[in-house]
Amino acid sequence: MPRPPLLLVPPSEGKAASGRPPSRSGSFDDALAAPRALVLAELARVLRSSDASGRARVLGVRGDLLERATATTAMLVAGEAPVLPAWKRYTGVVWAGLEPATLSPADRRRILVPSGLYGVTTAADPVADYRLRLLVVLGGLGRLSTFWRPVLTDVLMERARGRLVVDLLPAEHAHAIDLAALAGATRVVRARFVAADGSRAVGHEAKSAKGHLARALLDEGLDGVAGFVSEGWRATIDDDLITVVAPVR
């Protein structure tokens, strides 16, 4: 019997605050320790040498959100940041559709989440409150999606070998992985979300449909695609492409 699929799912900009001191390691802590340390070192440099506008550019927020992001980044750099499991930390629309609180621990470990800070975690791994997009150019590391791409490709090829992988990533996060190389090691099925006229679908409703599709895939594998319906969105699968079409409004 084939092993259940792994899902590549983006993190969310919205994050729960607070947490608890780290008490256990994450799935990729050993494999990604060195590149994560380089990212933290660059963040420390930003805190030391940048003014508010420089910090805002790197952290991607302003005003009160910048104050929160600066404080949480300082705790990260100091090794004092409280953590929550990723499934509790991420509060965006995709994650609401996933309903991760009702998943088993094993299913949460099948959700793989690329990020600018961690490279990749599972939904069960401890994650701090952070702001750092993969589109950011971070000092000598360059654009973070490019920086992470070789190492993430290697660790995901190792993790996913012999497993079906479903790619639910937007372009920003997909660029951090060589998906063609990953597809050479195992089967990769891509999901795309389109409007009724065939154009790319974006926004709250598309994200909600993505979360509900991810849940169907966790519960039923690819068998959950053919009958998938979520608030009028419907899915079909053709070879290695899932197409999810918005309802006509």
* pLDDT for res 1: 64
Task: Look up tokens 């590391």; give the residue.
Answer: 141
β-bridge partners, 128: 83
Angle between helices 33-49 and 63-78 (to 10 degrees): 130
- Lookup: tokens for 152: 């993430």
Q: Are 165 and 8 in contact (CB under 8 A)?
A: yes
Confidence class for position 93, pLDDT limits 50, 70, 90: very high
Confidence class for position 86, pLDDT limits 50, 70, 90: very high
Across 183-200, average pLDDT: 93
- Lookup: tokens for 145: 């999606």
pLDDT digits (tens, 9 = 90+) for 51-84: 899 999 999 999 888 999 999 999 999 999 999 9
pLDDT digits (tens, 9 = 90+) for 114-160: 999 999 999 999 999 999 999 999 999 999 999 999 999 999 999 99
The amino acid present at 167, given as its one-letter code, is: D
Phi/psi for 189 (5° steps) reads -110, 125
Is the predicted pLDDT of residue 207 greater than 90, yes or no? yes
- Lookup: tokens for 8: 């590549």
CA 97 remoteness from chain centre? 14
Is the predicted pLDDT of residue 226 greater than 90, yes or no? no
Half-sphere CA count of 71, side-chain side, radius 13 A: 9
Please state whether the predicted TM-score (pTM) of the whole model is above 0.85.
Answer: yes
